[in-house]
């Protein structure tokens, strides 16, 4: 598609929307950028777009609210993942026959190179980051993109056939694809999440499954053999399944034998490295490593090149991230644990004596599922945000519960309660938007609170 003279509406002025606008303006499009935020809030993001529009294309700003008439009078709608496609304004575009796509779909239509698409309920960011690192460590042109922070469309102009993009994909992004086809698609796991936005768990799974909808027999699907819901998908897709497993020995894929990580395919087995090379905490992170290694090898990475990158991989920010040790108490930031299952995995990464900070905006999660790990490993719970009352009701009979009005107060309470050998863990089981801009902001506020104690 050529864009010169076309009117393209971009719903949402966050990272992906701004990146899409930049790409389209440079190609002469008339870009209508709409967002519920006001101009004064978005001025920093908008200023570079105005500079581009002065040379190419036209920028129309509709801020502080969406205008229904604009959704009926454009050639294409690009939707940001934070905006539900079920909103009435998108129905206006559908009724007018106007295509609605996600930024990743726009990127796919222009990107050169191979795509590794990674989705799932938990572990996406770690696996995406590690996959890109393994590719680079093998001497390949690997890049991390997508929901991880850098919009995929940002790479389109400079992409080459040799590039390989590890792309973190949310269910929201996958709702807006049409032709998007990754060479390697992966669903890492499936547990209830975003049930505040979906009609039910089945609808959420259906959105995730879209990652495979355009794949062919020459493509790959990397799937978790230990996750029953994910494993079941392997029988109903066109792509060739490649498995990863901590528990089993699949015919094709990565698995554990004794203390070694093995990869097997039709050419035989490769002993990759010892499990001890993986520094990341938690059994779930071992699964992420197995998945990333499978993706790297399928993309052309030499198996013998992986160990060094695995040994030196520090993890990612906000994912069971070590912050500090104060008076024998360790502080960990897992702000990315935005659902119940992620928080369970986070708690289970530690033996016991955990002081847990949890809460935020409820995503219709079942907090009762936290009862077993909390009973076994959490000595005190500090609750924050809109879900504080619901968490307290679900868990107060099995552990001590304190309420805090801010992250700083939550850290101070943990500081007072903690003893030598304890772990203070931020793993909220909730979204962040009641108190923070996003999970990254929440994690950084936690780290600042910990560091301020250290300075004192």
Task: With beta carbons less than 8 A apart as the criterion, state whether 253 and 291 touch.
Answer: no
Where is average pLDDT lowest: 40-54, 63-77, 183-197? 183-197
| pLDDT tens profile 165-188 | 999 999 999 999 999 999 999 999
Q: Kindly list the domain boundaries of the chain, sorted by start residue.
A: 7-98, 105-311, 321-455
b vs e for 182-211, b when ≥16 Cβ sit within 10 Å of the residue's Cβ? bbbbbbbbbbbbbbebbeeeeebbebbbbb
Which pLDDT band holds residue 39 (cuts at 50, 70, 90)? very high
Q: What value does the mean pLDDT of the chain take?
A: 95
Q: Is the per-residue pLDDT at 160 higher than 80?
A: yes
The 10 Å Cβ neighbour count of residue 323 is: 19
Give the whole-number percent of the chain exceeding pLDDT 70. 100
Sheet with strand 58-63: strands edge to edge: 58-63, 30-35, 7-11, 76-79, 100-102
Instruction: Note the pLDDT of residue 187.
Output: 97
CATH of 105-311, one of 3.40.1190.10, 3.30.300.130, 3.40.50.2300, 3.30.479.30: 3.40.1190.10
DSSP β-ladder status, 321-326 and 100-102: unpaired
H/E stretch holding 32 = strand 30-35
Looking at residue 450, the DSSP 8-state letter turns out to be H
Between the alpha carbon of residue 319 and those of residues 182, 194, 280, 303, 450, the distances in Å are: 26, 19, 10, 26, 16
Which pLDDT band holds residue 47 (cuts at 50, 70, 90)? very high
Give the whole-number percent of the chain exceeding pLDDT 90. 91
Rounded to 5 degrees, φ, ψ at 30 are -90, 110
Q: Is the per-residue pLDDT at 456 higher than 80?
A: no
pTM for the predicted model, two decimal places: 0.88
Give the end-to-end CA distance of the chain in Å, rounded to a whole number.
59
Average pLDDT over residues 428-432: 97
Which pLDDT band holds residue 196 (cuts at 50, 70, 90)? confident
325 Cβ partners below 8 Å, 6+ apart? 331
Instruction: Note the pLDDT of residue 189.
Output: 94
CATH C-level class of 7-98: alpha beta
Which residues in 246-377 belong to E strands, given as ranges? 253-257, 260-265, 268-274, 321-326, 329-333, 354-359
Task: With beta carbons less than 8 A apart as the criterion, state whether 72 and 92 touch.
Answer: yes
Angle value at C-alpha 125, between 292 and 238, nearest 5 degrees:
55
Instruction: Note the pLDDT of residue 25.
Output: 98
**Residue 169 to residue 173: CA distance in whole angstroms:** 6
Instruction: Note the pLDDT of residue 198.
Output: 85
**Residue 426 to residue 331: CA distance in whole angstroms:** 8
Average pLDDT over residues 114-118: 98
Alpha-helical (H) ranges within 177-261 are 201-209, 228-233
Instruction: Note the pLDDT of residue 82.
Output: 84
DSSP β-ladder status, 378-384 and 321-326: unpaired
The 10 Å Cβ neighbour count of residue 340 is: 22
Q: Is the per-residue pLDDT at 102 higher than 80?
A: yes
Instruction: Note the pLDDT of residue 195.
Output: 76
DSSP β-ladder status, 30-35 and 114-119: unpaired
Which residues in 315-375 belong to E strands, given as ranges? 321-326, 329-333, 354-359
Task: With beta carbons less than 8 A apart as the criterion, state whether 9 and 142 touch.
Answer: no
Instruction: Note the pLDDT of residue 148.
Output: 87
6 Cβ partners below 8 Å, 6+ apart? 29, 30, 75, 76
Fold of 321-455: 3.90.190
- Classified as helix, coil or strand, 104 is helix
Instruction: Note the pLDDT of residue 199.
Output: 85
Q: Is the per-residue pLDDT at 285 higher than 80?
A: yes
**Residue 205 to residue 408: CA distance in whole angstroms:** 37
| pLDDT tens profile 121-148 | 989 999 999 999 999 999 999 999 998 8
Instruction: Note the pLDDT of residue 365.
Output: 86
Which residue in the block uniquely carries the two structure tokens 């499990």? 275
């Amino acid at each position: 598609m050529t864009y010169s003279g076309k009117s393209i509406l971009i719903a949402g002025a966050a990272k992906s929307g701004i990146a899409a606008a930049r790409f389209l303006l440079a190609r002469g499009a008339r870009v209508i950028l709409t967002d519920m935020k006001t101009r004064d809030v978005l001025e920093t993001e908008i200023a570079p777009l105005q500079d581009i529009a002065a040379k190419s294309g036209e920028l129309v700003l509709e801020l502080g609210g969406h205008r229904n008439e604009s959704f009926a009078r454009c050639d294409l709608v690009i939707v940001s993942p934070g905006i539900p496609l079920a909103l009435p304004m998108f129905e206006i575009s559908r009724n007018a026959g106007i295509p609605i796509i996600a930024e990743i779909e726009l990127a796919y239509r222009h990107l050169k190179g191979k795509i590794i698409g990674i989705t799932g309920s938990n572990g996406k960011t770690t696996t995406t980051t590690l996959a890109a690192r393994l590719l680079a460590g093998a001497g390949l042109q690997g890049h991390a993109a997508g929901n991880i922070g850098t919009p995929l469309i940002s790479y389109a102009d400079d992409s080459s056939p040799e590039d390989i993009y590890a792309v973190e994909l949310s269910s929201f992004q996958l709702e807006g694809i049409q032709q998007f086809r990754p060479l390697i698609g992966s669903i890492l796991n499936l547990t209830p999440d975003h049930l505040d936005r979906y009609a039910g768990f089945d609808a959420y799974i259906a959105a995730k499954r879209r990652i495979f909808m355009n794949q062919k027999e020459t493509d790959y699907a990397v799937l978790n053999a230990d996750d029953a819901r994910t494993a079941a998908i392997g029988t109903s897709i066109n792509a060739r399944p490649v498995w990863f497993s901590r528990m089993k020995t699949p015919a094709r894929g990565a698995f554990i034998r004794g203390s070694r990580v093995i990869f097997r395919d039709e050419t035989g087995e490769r002993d990759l490295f010892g499990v001890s090379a993986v520094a990341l905490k938690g059994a779930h992170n071992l699964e992420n490593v197995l998945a990333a290694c499978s993706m790297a090898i399928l993309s052309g990475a030499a198996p013998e090149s992986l160990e060094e990158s695995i040994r030196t991989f520090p993890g990612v920010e906000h994912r069971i991230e070590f912050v500090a040790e104060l008076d024998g108490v360790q502080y960990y930031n897992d702000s990315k644990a935005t659902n119940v299952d992620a928080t369970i995995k986070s708690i289970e990464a530690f033996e016991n004596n955990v002081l847990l900070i949890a809460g935020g905006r409820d995503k219709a999660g079942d907090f009762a599922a936290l009862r077993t790990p909390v009973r076994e490993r959490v000595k005190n719970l500090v609750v924050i945000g809109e879900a504080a009352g619901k968490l307290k009701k679900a868990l107060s009979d099995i552990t001590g519960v304190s309420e805090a009005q801010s992250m700083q107060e939550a850290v101070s309470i943990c500081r007072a309660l903690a003893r030598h050998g304890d772990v203070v863990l931020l793993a909220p089981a909730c979204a962040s938007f009641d108190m923070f801009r996003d999970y990254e902001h929440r994690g950084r506020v936690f780290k600042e609170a910990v560091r301020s104690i250290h300075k004192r």
